[in-house]
């Protein structure tokens, strides 16, 4: 701030009591700038034609010394490391994404004085929300990390920031809910496990959630507002019909009615039904409903709208795989399900079963769902462990043969979520298990059972999970989609294994998880995309 010369008599007594001597004007005049270490702070004191300025010496970007920066005649200080610019007069950051603390200066009897008192924690915390919003909008991961740290240090609960970020973002997801939501529920579970420790990793889940939200919003780059219309009362049937007709406004008006009339439980049940009504959106629907339930349970019913409205939007945009030839048998098997079949197949029976055969096997075991569940777990785990990894690298093939690890990981996460939802509404069990058959049937084409997978065996499951989460926390992946799936899958495996530690499928599932986390994944298909695009355009013409 500009030089402020006052006689002692003019100074507010309260301010006077807080002032600390920084240095003398004579000392500053000799050098033009000084670095002073006072009360744990490293301060930069600058002599300019406009007066004396005092600011933090560490650049708010990456902490390099501003004393090595460049000051122009307009009192703009440039950090020469990455060219951030600060107006010392106003304290404004002109270029850059964080603010520099500039201290008002008082000159008394040839001495430079400043009030170095930190703002009260409430003010520091409220400032974090301003910075957080900017960091989210700019998808600035480092600043997100700094703001989360500031909030924590000033006594705030970092979960406040997550709640804020989802509220800020909920109308910025063009097609509704994303993996940012699904992964958030699992990141929060990891966060719970680290709480109470002094482990610096504690803040990773929070920053990853915020970073994923920012990434997805930046990708969608817009604002898609939900209608404010609200029905007078909630009707589950009307909600289901609105979603079936892809009528987002009508569906949202139902959601708002459920919230307004306190019928959140009915709303949750209806959403679970919608999510399993069809084999849709590559099985994401029940996973998203399950994770949204977890998020609402954690953040409270006052946050229902920020999670459920994007969920409903994603349903309205959902893909109906049960309408395409490959999965058409799903609807037929669902319609003829009688719940009486008692022939429980061996897991190996699924090895070469396409979708119709897999669905038939499941229907034949319809009266033995507990036993069938173990068989499906074994079949899912086996297919994933023996996935023919070469096929993810193939380039000269039709789009319908594109396959990667996530086709296999979703088989488990889908079954887990669908099973949970069907526990509450048992008439959804046929949907849950038949959809599992859709995964198994399609994936059977991409498995090579003639591989030696001994190297992926896990001897100590708890040690494996410790190491797995340690690695996931510092995943190093530039795209959020992969760590989100590593996390979701590993959390699901851990829950399943802890629930049934002696089940026959446990060793296979652990080995599959081990392979998934440690075998290279092809993250971008450059040549395949070009070849498939060329084949399409050449066949299609103009």
Q: Report the alpha-carbon distance of residue 126 to residue 333 in Å, rounded.
A: 56
Q: Compute CA distances 90 → 41, 100, 105, 441, whole Å.
A: 21, 11, 13, 65
Q: Report helix, strand or coil for 41.
A: strand
Buried b (16+ CB within 10 A) or exposed e, 68-88: ebebeeebbbbbeeeebbbeb
Range in contact with ligand FES (rule: CB under 6 A) among 60-68, 210-218, 298-306, 316-324: 60-68
Asked whether the beta carbons of 311 and 292 are under 8 A apart, the reply is yes
CB atoms closer than 10 angstroms to residue 504? 13
Which residue's CB is nearer to ligand FES, number 80 or number 249?
Answer: 80
Residue reference for tokens 């004579």: 26
Q: Does 282 bind ligand FES (CB under 6 A)?
A: no
59 binds ligand FES (CB under 6 A): yes
DSSP 492: H
For the bound state, the minimum distance from the C-beta of residue 158 to ligand FES, rounded and expressed in Å, comes to: 25
CA–CA distance, 240 with 293 (Å, rounded to integer): 18
Selected range binding ligand FES among 4-12, 56-64, 227-235, 504-512, rule: CB under 6 A: 56-64
Which window, 55-63, 324-332, 356-364, 413-421, contacts ligand FES (CB under 6 A)? Answer: 55-63
- Beta bridge partners of residue 518, listed in sequence order: none
Check binding of 141 to ligand FES (CB under 6 A).
Answer: no
Distance CA 333, CA 158 (A): 47
82 binds ligand FES (CB under 6 A): yes
Residue 194 and residue 201 in contact, taking contact as beta carbons nearer than 8 Å = yes
* Helix, strand, or coil (residue 55): strand
Residue number with CB closer to ligand FES (59 or 510)? 59
Assess 61 for contact with ligand FES (CB under 6 A).
Answer: yes
- 146 is an interface residue for ligand FES by CB under 6 A: no
95 binds ligand FES (CB under 6 A): no
By CB under 6 A, tell whether 84 contacts ligand FES: yes
Distance in Å, CB of 105 to ligand FES, minimum? 23
CA distance 370 to 380: 16
* Shortest Å distance, C-beta 138 to ligand FES: 15
Only one of the segments 17-25, 57-65, 142-150, 486-494 lies at the binding site for ligand FES (rule: CB under 6 A); that segment is 57-65
State the nearest-atom distance from the C-beta of 35 to ligand FES, in Å. Answer: 16
Q: Among 2, 25, 35, 64, indicate the residue that binds ligand FES (CB under 6 A).
A: 64
Which position among 20, 81, 108, 241 is part of the footprint of ligand FES (CB under 6 A)?
Answer: 81
Q: Is the dihedral of CA 67, 72, 75, 77 positive or negative?
A: negative
**Residue 129 makes contact with ligand FES by CB under 6 A:** no
Among the listed residues 464, 452, 526, the one whose alpha carbon sits nearest the alpha carbon of residue 490: 464
Give me the least distance between CB of 95 and ligand FES, in Å please. 9
Q: Distance between CA atoms of 422 and 269, rounded to whole angstroms?
A: 10
* Site residues, ligand FES (CB under 6 A): 59, 61-62, 64, 79, 81-82, 84
């Amino acid at each position: 701030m500009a030089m402020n010369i006052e006689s002692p008599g003019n100074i507010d007594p309260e301010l006077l009591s807080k002032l600390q001597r920084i240095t003398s004007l004579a000392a500053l005049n000799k050098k033009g700038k000084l670095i002073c270490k006072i009360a744990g702070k490293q301060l930069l004191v600058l002599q300019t034609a406009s007066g004396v300025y005092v600011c933090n010496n560490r650049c708010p970007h990456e902490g390099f010394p501003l004393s090595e920066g460049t000051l122009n005649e307009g009192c703009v200080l440039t950090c020469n490391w990455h060219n951030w610019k600060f107006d010392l007069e106003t304290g404004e950051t002109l270029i850059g994404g964080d603010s520099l603390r500039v201290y008002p200066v008082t000159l008394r009897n040839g001495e430079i004085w400043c009030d170095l008192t930190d703002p009260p924690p409430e003010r520091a915390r409220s400032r974090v929300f301003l910075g957080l919003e900017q960091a989210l909008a700019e998808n600035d991961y480092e600043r997100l990390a700094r703001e989360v740290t500031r909030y924590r240090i000033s006594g705030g609960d970092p979960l406040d920031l997550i709640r804020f970020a989802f509220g800020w973002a909920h109308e910025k997801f063009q097609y509704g809910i994303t993996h940012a939501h699904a992964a958030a529920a699992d990141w929060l579970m990891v966060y719970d496990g680290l709480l109470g420790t002094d482990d610096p990793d504690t803040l990773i889940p929070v920053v990853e959630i915020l970073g994923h939200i920012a990434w997805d919003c930046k990708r969608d780059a817009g604002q898609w507002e939900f209608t404010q219309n609200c029905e007078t009362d909630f009707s589950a049937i009307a909600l289901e019909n609105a979603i079936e007709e892809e009528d987002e406004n009508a569906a949202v008006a139902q959601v708002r009615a459920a919230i307004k009339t306190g019928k959140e439980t009915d709303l949750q049940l209806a959403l679970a039904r919608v999510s399993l009504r069809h084999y849709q959106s590559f099985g994401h629907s029940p996973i998203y409903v399950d994770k949204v339930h977890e998020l609402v349970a954690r953040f409270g019913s006052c946050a229902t709208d920020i999670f459920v409205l994007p969920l409903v939007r994603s349903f309205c945009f959902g893909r109906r795989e049960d309408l395409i030839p490959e999965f058409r048998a799903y609807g037929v098997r669902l319609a003829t399900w009688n719940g009486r079949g008692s022939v429980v197949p061996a897991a190996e029976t699924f090895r070469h079963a396409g979708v119709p055969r897999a669905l038939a096997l499941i229907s034949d075991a319809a009266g033995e769902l507990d036993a069938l569940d173990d068989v499906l777990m074994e079949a899912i785990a086996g297919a994933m462990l023996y996935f023919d990894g070469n096929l993810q690298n193939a380039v000269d093939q039709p789009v319908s043969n594109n396959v990667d690890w996530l086709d296999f990981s979703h088989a488990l996460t889908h079954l887990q979520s669908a099973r949970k939802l069907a526990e509450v509404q048992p008439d959804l069990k046929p949907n849950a298990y038949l959809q599992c058959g859709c995964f198994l049937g399609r994936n059977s084409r991409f498995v090579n059972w003639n591989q030696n997978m001994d190297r992926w065996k896990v001897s100590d499951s708890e040690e494996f999970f410790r190491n797995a989460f340690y690695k996931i926390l510092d995943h190093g992946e530039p795209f959020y989609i992969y760590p989100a799936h590593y996390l979701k899958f590993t959390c699901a495996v851990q829950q399943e294994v802890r629930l049934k530690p002696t089940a026959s499928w446990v060793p296979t599932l652990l080995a599959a998880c081990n392979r998934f986390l440690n075998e290279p994944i092809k993250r971008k298909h450059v040549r395949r995309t070009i070849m498939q695009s060329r084949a399409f355009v050449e066949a299609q013409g103009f």
